[in-house]
A and B are shown apart, each in its own frame.
Chain A
Amino acid sequence: MKPILEVNQLTKFFGGLKALDKLDLDIREGEIVALIGPNGAGKTTFFNCITGIYTPTEGDVVISPPNKKTMRINGMKPNLVTKNGLARTFQNIRLFPNMTVLENVMIGRHSRLSSGIAGAVFRPKSTRREEENLINDSYEILKKIELAQFVNELAMNLPYGAQRRLEIARAMATEPFLLLLDEPAAGMNPMETKRLDDLIVKIRDTENISILLIEHDMKLVMSLSDRIFVMDYGKKIAQGTPDEIKSNPAVIKAYLGEETDA
């Protein structure tokens, strides 16, 4: 089966600094893949290259969404990458603070809607129906992520754990086939992390969304992942199942495999 995301020899230079060095990675449909590595290894840079925030210096990023054409997305603008089915969350939460929780999710559906200025001003039946569906669909997503109780709350007023989940909800609203999560468990306590674990599995199982996540929480990574890729200094130094990675000497050397849950 063709991988839904295939990254070949991805290289990124920032001036003289080589942030990514001939990185290869692939994700198959239905997988939860983790990307781990010491701080500064280039994981977020990798995400940024895939999602169009940076343009790769060399290499290819190819996506094969289920039932759609294969395409190269190097250097594609971020909004088009999202339109083509890749959604992401951010390492430092980037919600829309002065919009409500519901509106944040509604924004996620922007690229799946079509009404423009005329629709906004004249509100024909098609626009009204679209808006109604939008509100209901967004609410459904909130219920799935267990954020429904915050629906009219301003995003900036949410507790931290809820904010992280809201970012995921918002990303899901874009109807992705692949969800990129950047340190979703950062700053969470063990209980919240467990809840996140269940949520991610639920997303994969019930929504048919594959997941690629960057994480430092080893317990979460080992529990969730089907496969793990390990990075250091911009290079891939290992890949395999959790068991393989746990005992991989290169990984242990680079990373000292610390379990970070407190």
Chain B
Amino acid sequence: MDWEYLLDLFLGGLTRGSIYALIALGYTMVYGIIELINFAHGEIYMIGAFTALIVASVLGLMGMNHIVIIILASVIAIIYSAAYGFTVEKIAYKPLRQAPRLSALISAIGMSLFLQNYVLLAQTSNFLPFPSLIPDFDFWEPYAHILTSQELVILITTAVVMILLTFLIKFTRTGKAMRATAQDKVMAALVGIDVNRIISTTFVVGSATAAIGGVLIASHIGQINFYMGFIAGIKAFVAAVMGGIGSIPGAVLGSLVLGWTESFFTGYISSDYEDVFAFLFLVVILIFRPSGILGRSETQKV
């Protein structure tokens, strides 16, 4: 039994899962609050990566300090992704809040299509190399063969984001308002919650976490492309659904499960069918548990 290989796959899966989690959170939060699959969410992730690249390149050419570049690029990427998420909601989803779900879903698909091609046309269809924003840490050197510095940063960042998000949802007023709105929009409005603002906040927070994911994965893999949001988005969505859409711990759980199973599947069986695997897994889960692993089973009010 090749333990080192197993550990490799395990950690690889953990890393993958972390990235999926950062994206899946956005999906699950938005779904929890307005019951919409935000197809365009993957594109927000992609835009985060692109924005970071652009900023980093400009700052790099200006000869800025490496640390400054990392910080500025990440922060600006987050701000922009949040702004995109906010705008997309206002344009494509808000007008359709009373409309049948099908309409909103189609609108989301349209938005996804639009953003992908927007970046494609404005930038390039090529794969753009992404600078390694995360340096190799000296103190981590002895362990670098198990887990690279980048992977370490990914894991730590994800953990920190989870903690911050949990804190936000559980202990702040805004978090309470988000939970209330997710449960009953009308009632929340009646007790004085500004539902529109809360929904916007949800999109902003979700987009921000996705942007973080975008920056991290771009540093890790080393290249970005206008299409990267789509596949990552689908998988993160699969993860969120598996864990039970609407549930934040579910999104994390689903992402980790997906990350690990993908890693082990490609490691031991085949890497050709990697993407197929995620979908098959989803189908199987949904057949036996239509609400996902941790999802609340929705008994329809008749």
Contact = CB atoms under 8 A, between A and B. Distances in A.
Check A-B contact in the complex, CB < 8 A. Answer: yes
Interface of A: 14, 44, 48, 53-54, 90-91
A146 to B, nearest CB: 27
A14 B302 contact: no
B84 to A, nearest CB: 35
B65 interface: no
A90 B302 contact: yes
A90 B300 CA distance: 13
Interface string B132-156: 0000000000000000000000000
The A contact surface, by secondary structure, is loop
Interface in B278-302: 299, 302
Contacts of B302: 44, 48, 53, 90-91
A17 to B, nearest CB: 11
Nearest to B297: A15
Nearest to A88: B302
A48 B299 CA distance: 12
Nearest to A51: B302
Nearest to A78: B302
Nearest to B300: A53
A52 to B, nearest CB: 11
Nearest to A90: B302
Contacts of A90: 302
Contacts of B299: 14, 54
Contacts of A53: 302
Contacts of A44: 302
A175 B299 CA distance: 29
Contacts of A48: 302
7 contacts: A14-B299, A44-B302, A48-B302, A53-B302, A54-B299, A90-B302, A91-B302
A53 B302 CA distance: 8
A90 B101 CA distance: 22
A182 B302 CA distance: 11
